[in-house]
Amino acid sequence: MSKANDLPTSENIRKTYELWLESPCFDEATKSELYSIKDDWPEIEDRFFKELQFGTAGLRGVIGAGTNRMNVYTVRKATQGLADCISCEGEAAKARGVVITYDSRRMSREFSEAAALVLAANGIKTYLFKDLRATPELSFAIRYLNCMAGIVVTASHNPKEYNGYKVYWEDGAQIATERAESIIASIAKINDFAAIPVLSKEEALTKGLLVYLDEQVDDQYITAVKKQSIRSDIINKVAGDFKVVYTPLHGTGNRPVRRVLKEIGFKNVYVVPEQELPDSEFSTVRYPNPEDKKAFQLSIELAKGKEAQLVLATDPDCDRVGAVVKNDSGEYVVLTGNQTGALLVDYILKQRKEAEHLPDNGAIIKTIVTSEMGADIAKGYGVEVMNTLTGFKYIGEKIKQFEAAGDKTFLFGYEESYGYLAGTYARDKDAVVTSMLICEMAAYYYDQGMNLYQALMALYDKYGYYLEDLKSITLAGKEGLEKIGWIMECFRGNPPAVIGDSKVIVVEDYARQQNRTLPKANVLKFILEDDGWVCLRPSGTEPKLKIYAGVKGNTLQESRERLAQTIAWMVHQIKEN
């Protein structure tokens, strides 16, 4: 994140804007778009007050012309930085190449081809899928094709105005912090967009530097996903009666999720017809995110008509999945990411233990803002739980460490924002395998005369009523960036002694590395005396300050009240600042 004193002056912002208008490097469509805002200084400032930041894994931003936007030029610049880092690894690394996938968003294909042709101009072989694919398949494809790196063009669950660009390394995980810093340093050396080499598509194909992939990778990926199924016997037993409604929310999940569910034996899977096909405008939803309850409106309507036991929705790049089940009143309710995660932890460990396949050195990995309920459940099975910073890349890094050391067996990894992974065929969250496991888990309880809501209530009765929530405060533009930085420093310099009615017993400042087992990060976590916690973190992909909170009570109502009070207190303090 840029510091306030690093931001350019109004004069420099104006000069950069005029350069984009005058330079022959930029096409006429770009210049026309910029000319249309010539009298709108706030818009000019927002587009040019900084460069779109290459963060811990890549780019994400609003699509448009300008240095602080996602466009062909910012994509080319980021790709040249990546190309320089690959070239430093030698000719063998360049020959191993890069695989690229993209989702259904605006400009995704164009950005993918722009990246491929910059790589080709640097002599780096690139594999490109002919049409959209899910992000987790990119993670799988890197190791399957023995590539040096991978790129996925997606903004995940962001609104339709956004797109993004994430970089993965040879292990199939998003790039580690050190690698990201190396790419950022290479990008910083590029001062002239016109100096970035770009090969034509025809020449790249002729030279064998651009290769379009067939369905072989798809088949191998689906095979790897199906190997994570635990109780195929249960699926076969109830498949005739069990009904699932699924929506890909206009994204990439339609083919892989439906295929894997069909191939493992589910017979009654109904897809929401209005949301089945890719649509860059996400025309039936305000926000294509399974974390948003409104995204389930059409799927719940279909589920009522079909009397389905389960509803699933995946986000546009199919790395997150949300679930809906009936409560005791017969109403369809959306499970939180933490609730689904706790259910999966219990199901996976229970089935492994019963089958005598639970290793002594097994480990569950979660993030620091994920509920402690799953950790409590895992400990009940004698399984170690490890925490990472927010972001699945850190879970991927742990899997790599486990395999290198041979001291731990990865069982399951997850985060509160609907991201989960079972198996090590991929190193990123995967909504395809998770959709399969949620359906299998729901079928297991269905065979016992229960649904997932009742299973969750049983876990609450056993382990306590854990509840969590997330509140995001949007602070856009240059002033917003400065405000977020200032708020974090205020809480860092003068941490609260009490949050709501709960005493703060520990302050964890990850920027000062008081917890030296994790990398530095601009994150503050306050541990409360009554099994509660609050975490304050600037978003790495959006202009937001995020407030995470978790509580544990003796009843659901008690937990709801405490959670609402905790969040309200934090929001009030931030607005007062």
**Domain locations in the chain as residue ranges:** 51-218, 236-463, 466-576
Whether 515 has a pLDDT exceeding 60, the answer reads no
> Which single residue is written with the structure tokens 């699945």?
392
Give this prediction's pTM: 0.94
**Residue 575: what pLDDT?**
83
Per-position DSSP letters for 363-402, written without gaps between them: EEEEETTS-SHHHHHHHHTT-EEEEE-SSHHHHHHHHHHH
What is the longest distance spanned by two Cα atoms in the chain?
A: 70
Please tell me the predicted confidence (pLDDT) of residue 543.
81
Please state, in angstroms and rounded to a whole number, the distance separating the CA atoms of residues 445 and 439. 10
- Whole-number Å distance between alpha carbons of 335 and 340: 6
Residue whose C-alpha is closest to residue 385's, from 371, 412, 365: 365
| Fold topology of 236-463 | Alpha-D-Glucose-1,6-Bisphosphate; Chain A, domain 3 (3.40.120)
Mean pLDDT value across residues 486-505? 94
At residue 56, the pLDDT reads: 73
CATH of domain 51-218: 3.40.120.10
Residue 518 is predicted with a pLDDT of 83
| Three-state DSSP class for residue 389 | coil
Q: Where are the alpha helices (DSSP H) in 410-476?
A: 431-447, 452-463
**Confidence at 542, pLDDT banded by 50, 70, 90:** confident
Q: Is the pLDDT of residue 65 over 80?
A: yes
471 class by beta-carbon count within 10 Å (0-12 exposed, 13-18 middle, 19+ buried): middle
The share of the chain scoring above pLDDT 70, in percent, equals: 98
Query: Is the model's pLDDT at 72 over the cut of 80?
Result: yes
User: What is the rounded distance in angstroms from the CA atom of residue 524 to the CA atom of residue 507?
Assistant: 7
Q: Check: CATH 3.40.367.20 for 466-576?
A: no
Instruction: Please tell me the predicted confidence (pLDDT) of residue 5.
Output: 45
Alpha-carbon distance of 43 to 477, in angstroms, equals 9
Sheet of strand 362-367, all strands in order from the earlier edge strand to the far edge: 384-388, 362-367, 409-415, 419-421
Give strand ranges (E) for 454-510.
465-474, 498-499, 502-509
Give catalytic status of residue 156 as yes or no: yes
3-state SS, residue 97: coil
Q: At 57, which helix (H) or strand (E)?
A: none
CA 548 vs CA 369, 504, 574: distances in Å: 7, 15, 13
Average pLDDT rounded to a whole number, residues 535-548: 88
pLDDT per position as a tens digit, 185-237: 999 999 999 999 999 999 999 999 999 999 999 999 999 999 999 999 999 99
**Counting beta carbons within 10 angstroms of the beta carbon of residue 213, is it exposed (0 to 12), middle (13 to 18) or buried (19 or more)?**
middle
Of the pLDDT bands very low, low, confident and very high (cuts 50, 70, 90), residue 2 is very low
Encode pLDDT of 225-262 as tens digits.
999 999 999 999 999 999 999 999 999 999 999 999 99
Q: What span, in angstroms and rounded, lies between the C-alpha atoms of 360 and 520?
A: 31
**Confidence band (pLDDT; 50, 70, 90) for 170?**
very high
Tell me, yes or no, if the two domains 51-218 and 236-463 fold the same way: yes
Q: What is the mean pLDDT of residues 404-419?
A: 97
Higher-confidence residue of 288 and 2: namely: 288
Q: How buried is 500 (Cβ within 10 angstroms: 0-12 exposed, 13-18 middle, 19+ buried)?
A: buried
The secondary structure of residue 66, as a DSSP letter, is S
In this predicted structure, what is the pLDDT of residue 514? 56
Return the C-alpha torsion angle 72, 77, 78, 83, nearest 10: 120
DSSP 8-state code for residue 4: G
- Model confidence at 7: pLDDT above 80: no
The 10s digit of each residue's pLDDT in 318-376 is 999 999 999 999 999 999 999 999 999 999 999 999 999 999 999 999 999 999 999 99
**What is the overall mean pLDDT for the chain?**
95
Average pLDDT on 512-541 reads: 86
Question: Per-residue pLDDT averaged across 139-157, rounded?
Answer: 97
**pLDDT tens digits, one per residue of 77-124:** 999 999 999 999 999 999 999 999 999 999 999 999 999 999 999 999
What pLDDT shows up at residue 177? 85
Per-residue pLDDT, 234: 96
Q: Give pLDDT, residue 14.
A: 95
Tell me: the pLDDT tens digits for 471-485? 999 988 878 888 999
Q: Say if residue 1's pLDDT is above 50.
A: no
Q: Which residue is catalytic, options 104, 112, 156, 299? A: 156
The pLDDT score that the predictor gives to residue 6 is 61
